[in-house]
């Protein structure tokens, strides 16, 4: 039985004692002190900090103990299965962490002369060529810091393309399927497009008739995930591409599900013009609890001129940055990208190689289909859409029937899974499936761990039908029971910082 650590760990402001210090900043040499005196005299009195920040005062050991205890109340891949659909939570190889901590990376500055950073430039250049090969695109830009950042950049490139071709006025609409990740419509609207949603057909794929009806001379493009968020391959991709290209639109590939097709089929070959990759999903870099990731984009030759400045180049002898790109959309951040993350991806691809990447894809798809087969045998679980068709890297089950019969919802199932030392699937997504659980096992977990997941799901189903309160009251083995998320967001109780907490406490007249 699993028990997550349950420390009654105070908030850091409640720890420590006045005068304690966890780190001493290197001092100033005597000569400098003598020559400069008190440096604060150079600041006008009106701009000198009057009240010191109310930071906690702790010794180093207190700080380390506090955060180590906190880390024990956190679940990560190294503890077990993490089947969050569309998140591709695969194992993060340790060697990549060792390499990424090299001072030969940590201590180099982005504005160093190119001849002093040829090593990292070569790594970035080769990585960008590999990613172009993997996605079937012509040029790759490593700048975006996350998938959504790449999407924003991709939709800006769509804009630039239409602006250059026929002026932008007409091309105002961006189409996304109803199964799309939330970032797609959000990115489209950030780039100034009106977002149109097309429904899925009975097979869970883009409804071709609806798509034909939606496209027009106003269509800037279509954003598509393939395989989609149901884990189903959009087999009509040729027709879809034809419909979108036929009206002069561009096809955008959301790379969140790229792990399903490495070495099997490439977005560029399917007709996609712009592709983003989630390095922290497909290429095994740790997600860090919410980042840093990296979201490079690849584009066709025709669109390459719109990519951000600078692009990385190689003249046969040395690697360099090219800032001379008059058609570029600009840049979406400072410097060149999340290099620390990209280095890990370089090492990952180097380790696995062409064969290894393809094998990873195959095993991830096999694992998803194995889970699908096992899960649909469980009482109360149904598999919506495309009966009998293989899934790719993920599958979606619906527990709507269980909910109707027992009152146990997808959310409750997810919470109960936590009690067994496993992470829950993505819950309530895609939104077209009622009581959805979206499961992506990845290639990283062996059959025994998958079987354990199935056993746990089986047991939860039995509990739902025999003693539903057990499921409804979950989790009981996590660091804390179900949280009041409504209270967390309610304007009356919203507490987003310690100072807001103190203010509320004061206004309630508490000490």
Interaction residues for other proteins, span 355-374 (CB under 8 A): 355-358, 362, 365-366, 369-370, 372-374
Is 12 a binding residue for other proteins by CB under 8 A? The answer is: yes
Residues of this chain, 468-487, that bind other proteins according to CB under 8 A: 473, 475, 478-485, 487
Among 385, 429, 445, 453, binds other proteins (CB under 8 A): 429
b/e for 104-130, b at 16 or more Cβ within 10 A? eeeeeeeeeeeeebeebbebbbbbbeb
Among 426, 437, 439, 471, binds other proteins (CB under 8 A): 426
Q: Spell out, one character per residue from 59 to 98, where the chain touches other proteins: x when CB under 8 A holds, - when not.
A: -x--xx-xxxxxxxxxxxxxx--x-x--x-x--xx-x-xx
> Quick one: 402 or 411, whose CB is closer to other proteins?
411
Residues of this chain, 317-336, that bind other proteins according to CB under 8 A: 329-336
* Neighbouring C-alpha atoms within 13 Å toward the C-beta of 156: 19
Q: How far apart are CA 220 and CA 197, in angstroms?
A: 13
Residues of this chain, 166-185, that bind other proteins according to CB under 8 A: 181-183, 185
CB of 404 to other proteins, least distance (A): 24
Q: Looking at the chain, how many residues does it have?
A: 511
Q: In the structure encoding, which two tokens stand for residue 401, read together?
A: 């029937």
- List the end-to-end C-alpha distance of the chain, in Å, as a whole number: 41
Q: Is 69 in contact with 26 (CB distance < 8 Å)?
A: no
Among 275, 343, 345, 470, binds other proteins (CB under 8 A): 343
**Residue 159: its H or E element:** helix 147-166
Q: Is 268 helix (H, G, I), strand (E, B) or coil?
A: helix
**Phi (first) and psi of residue 278, to 5 degrees:** -100, 100
Residues of this chain, 405-424, that bind other proteins according to CB under 8 A: 414-415, 418, 423-424
CB of 356 to other proteins, least distance (A): 5
b/e for 386-403, b at 16 or more Cβ within 10 A? beeeebbbbbbbbbbebb
Q: Which stretch binds other proteins (CB under 8 A): 243-251, 400-408, 435-443, 496-504?
A: 496-504
Q: Is 355 helix (H, G, I), strand (E, B) or coil?
A: helix
CB of 431 to other proteins, least distance (A): 9
CA of residue 33 relative to chain centroid, distance = 48
Rounded to whole angstroms, what are the CA distances from 76 to 121, 395, 470? 32, 22, 25
Residues of this chain, 218-257, that bind other proteins according to CB under 8 A: 233, 235, 237-238
Residues of this chain, 31-60, that bind other proteins according to CB under 8 A: 31-33, 35-36, 38-40, 42-44, 46-58, 60
Residues of this chain, 282-301, that bind other proteins according to CB under 8 A: 286-293, 295
Q: Spell out, one character per residue from 433 to 472, where the chain touches other proteins: x when CB under 8 A holds, - when not.
A: ----------------------------------------
């Amino acid at each position: 039985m699993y028990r997550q650590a349950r420390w009654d760990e105070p908030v850091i402001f409640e720890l420590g004692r006045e005068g304690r210090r966890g780190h001493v900043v290197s001092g100033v040499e005597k000569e400098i002190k003598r020559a400069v005196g008190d440096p604060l005299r150079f600041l006008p009195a009106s701009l000198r900090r009057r009240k010191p920040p109310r930071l906690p005062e702790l010794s180093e050991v207190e700080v380390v103990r506090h955060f180590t205890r906190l880390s024990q109340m956190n679940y990560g891949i190294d503890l077990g299965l993490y089947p969050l659909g569309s998140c591709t939570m695969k194992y993060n190889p340790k060697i990549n962490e060792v390499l990424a901590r090299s001072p030969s990376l940590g201590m180099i500055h982005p504005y160093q002369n190119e001849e002093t950073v040829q090593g990292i430039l070569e790594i970035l250049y080769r990585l960008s060529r590999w990613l172009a090969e993997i996605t079937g695109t012509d040029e790759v830009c490593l700048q975006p810091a996350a998938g959504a950042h790449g999407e924003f950049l991709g939709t800006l490139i769509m804009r630039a393309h239409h602006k250059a071709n026929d002026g932008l006025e007409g091309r105002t609409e961006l189409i996304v399927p109803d199964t799309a990740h939330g970032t797609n419509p959000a990115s489209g609207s950030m780039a100034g497009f009106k977002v149109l949603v097309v429904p899925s057909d009975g097979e869970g794929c883009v409804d071709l008739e609806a798509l034909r009806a939606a496209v027009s001379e106003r269509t800037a493009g279509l954003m598509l995930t393939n395989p989609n968020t149901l884990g189903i391959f959009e087999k009509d991709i040729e027709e879809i591409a034809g419909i979108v290209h036929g009206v002069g639109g561009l096809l955008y590939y959301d790379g969140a599900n790229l792990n399903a097709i490495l070495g099997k089929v490439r977005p560029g070959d399917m007709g996609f013009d712009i592709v983003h990759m989630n390095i922290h999903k497909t290429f095994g870099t740790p997600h860090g609890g919410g980042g840093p990731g990296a979201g490079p984009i690849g584009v066709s030759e025709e669109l390459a001129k719109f990519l951000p400045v600078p692009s990385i180049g190689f003249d046969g002898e040395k690697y360099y940055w090219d800032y001379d790109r008059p058609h570029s959309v600009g840049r979406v951040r400072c410097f060149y990208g999340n290099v620390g993350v990209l280095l890990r991806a370089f090492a990952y691809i180097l380790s696995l190689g062409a064969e290894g990447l393809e094998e990873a894809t195959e095993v991830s798809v096999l694992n998803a289909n194995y889970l699908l087969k096992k899960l649909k045998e469980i009482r109360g679980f149904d598999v919506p859409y495309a009966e009998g068709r293989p899934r790719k890297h993920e599958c979606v089950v619906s527990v709507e029937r269980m909910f109707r019969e027992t009152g146990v919802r997808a959310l409750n199932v997810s919470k109960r899974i936590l009690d067994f030392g496993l992470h829950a699937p993505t819950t309530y997504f895609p939104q077209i499936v009622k009581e959805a659980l979206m499961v992506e096992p990845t290639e990283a977990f062996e059959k025994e761990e998958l079987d354990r997941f199935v056993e746990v799901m089986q047991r939860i189903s039995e509990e739902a039908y025999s003693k539903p309160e057990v499921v409804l009251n979950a989790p009981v083995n996590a660091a804390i029971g179900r949280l009041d998320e409504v209270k967390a967001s309610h304007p009356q109780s919203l507490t987003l910082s310690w100072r807001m907490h103190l203010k509320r406490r004061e206004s309630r007249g508490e000490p």
